Amino acid sequence: MANRVDPNGDRTVGVLTKIDIIDKGTEKDIVKILNNEDYVLKLGWTAVQNRSQRDIESNKPINKHLKDEIGFFAGHEYFKQFANRQGVAFLTKKLNQVLINHI
């Protein structure tokens, strides 16, 4: 879809969701995407760990989820190398910066 309105990938931010439930063995493919090697976007890619249905049903606080997400990336064998560029908090800052630059 983004390709139709942004064919050069100049204005598109890529977001990979549900990164915590990817199939085992696909981590290296995900790393290529997050390193902007597979499908190049000027603004790059960010992965996020969505709240699970169990988290929602148990009323897990958002702040707790955000802390757990940081721990997920920091402790993951493949994703820890760029943990500081992943997650909802980073995506929020990135999108805010894109908006400010646009304005």
* Model confidence pLDDT, tens digit, residues 2-54: 888 888 888 899 999 999 999 888 999 999 999 999 888 999 999 999 988 89
Cβ atoms of 90 and 47 closer than 8 Å: no
Give bridge partners of residue 15 from the DSSP assignment.
46
User: Which domains does the chain show, CATH number per domain?
Assistant: 2-102 (3.40.50.300)
Residue with tokens 């304005």: 103
pTM: 0.85
Q: What tokens appear for 25 in the block? A: 């063995």
* Phi, psi angle pair for 95, to nearest 5°: -65, -35
pLDDT for position 30: 94
Section 79-86 average pLDDT: 93
pLDDT for position 9: 82
